[in-house]
């Protein structure tokens, strides 16, 4: 017997709620590292989760975390003009692209090739941006004793 539309929708909602309960914290941390702003991070995450929910039935066994993270990264990259230079936290000293590369490589554990594919850059470019960003993070901030 076929499930009714209401039953399918209820099952999808339960699955999505369970996913958000399990992965929402990590996705929020990633969004916060990217934006360096709590309100912007929450907005970025909300929009990314809305897109993930809309595509939920088409996942077909794919990992929803990968889809949500991909959407988060893509949305941040498209809106990076709004996040030019954040001044909060250590990552605030980096440009949006540098933050994106550092978060993908060091926080999310992407290999250079994975990060390059996700960002549409060459692996050499990802390596150079990451090296420059790490050097900037290790340098003393201006005005520090």
Which spans in 55-119 are helix H?
64-78, 96-102, 112-119
Give pLDDT, residue 1: 46
Note the pLDDT of residue 92: 82
Crossing angle between the packed helical segments 112-119 and 123-138, to the nearest 10 degrees:
100
- pLDDT confidence of residue 61: 77
Q: Is 94 exposed, middle or buried (0-12, 13-18, 19+ CB in 10 A)?
A: buried
| Closest C-alpha among 39, 32, 24, 25 to residue 99 | 32
User: Over the stretch 36-50, which tens digit does the pLDDT of each residue have?
Assistant: 889 999 999 999 999
Of 134, 78, 68, 71, the C-alpha closest to 101 is 134
What CA–CA distance (Å, rounded) separates 71 from 89? 24
List CB contacts of 93: < 8 A, sequence separation 6 or more: 136, 137, 141
Phi-psi region for residue 36, left (φ > 0), alpha (ψ -120 to 50) or beta? left
Tell me what pLDDT residue 68 has.
Answer: 95
Q: Which stretches of the chain score pLDDT less than 70?
A: 1-3, 81-88, 141-145
């Amino acid at each position: 017997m076929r499930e009714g539309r209401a039953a399918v929708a209820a099952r999808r909602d339960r699955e999505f709620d369970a996913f958000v309960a399990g992965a929402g914290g990590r996705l929020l941390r990633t969004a916060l590292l990217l934006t360096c702003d709590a309100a912007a991070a929450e907005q970025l995450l909300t929009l990314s989760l809305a897109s993930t929910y809309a595509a939920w039935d088409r996942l077909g066994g794919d990992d929803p975390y990968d889809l949500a993270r991909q959407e988060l990264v893509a949305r941040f990259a498209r809106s990076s003009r709004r996040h030019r230079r954040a001044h909060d936290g250590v990552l605030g000293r980096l440009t949006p692209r540098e933050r994106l590369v550092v978060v993908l490589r060091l926080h999310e554990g992407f290999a250079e090739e994975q990060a390059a594919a996700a960002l549409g850059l060459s692996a050499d470019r990802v390596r150079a941006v990451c090296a420059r960003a790490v050097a900037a993070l290790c340098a003393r901030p201006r005005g520090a004793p």
